[in-house]
């Protein structure tokens, strides 16, 4: 997972994460990773429209944002 997050940060890509908050609620977030350390990911959250920190241990999964194809 760290490799994917680092790659997304270097490529300045939007990614989607599933995250468990402090109340054990699972949320889906679209983020752009700004920085990574041993415990946290610093990222711009498009849902909250601000830079947030996410604990690595609470990120359940991450992946690419599906891009819609249209006319």
pLDDT for position 63: 94
Domains and CATH numbers, the chain: 2-64 (2.30.30.100)
Alpha helices in 1-71 (DSSP H): 2-11
pTM of the predicted protein model: 0.85
- Position 60 confidence tier, pLDDT thresholds 50, 70, 90: very high
CA–CA gap between residue 24 and residue 6 (Å, rounded): 26
- Position 39 confidence tier, pLDDT thresholds 50, 70, 90: very high
Among 32, 36, 37, smallest CA distance to 15 is for: 32
22 with 6: CB under 8 angstroms? no
Residue 19 pLDDT > 70 = yes
What pLDDT, in 10s, does the model give residues 46-56? 999 999 999 99
């Amino acid at each position: 997972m760290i490799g994917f997050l680092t790659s997304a940060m270097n490529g300045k890509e939007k990614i989607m994460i599933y995250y468990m908050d402090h109340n054990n609620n699972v949320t889906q977030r679209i983020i752009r990773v700004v920085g990574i350390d041993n415990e946290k990911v610093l990222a711009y959250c498009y849902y909250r429209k601000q830079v947030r920190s996410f604990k690595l241990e609470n990120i359940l999964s991450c992946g690419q944002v599906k891009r819609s194809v249209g006319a």
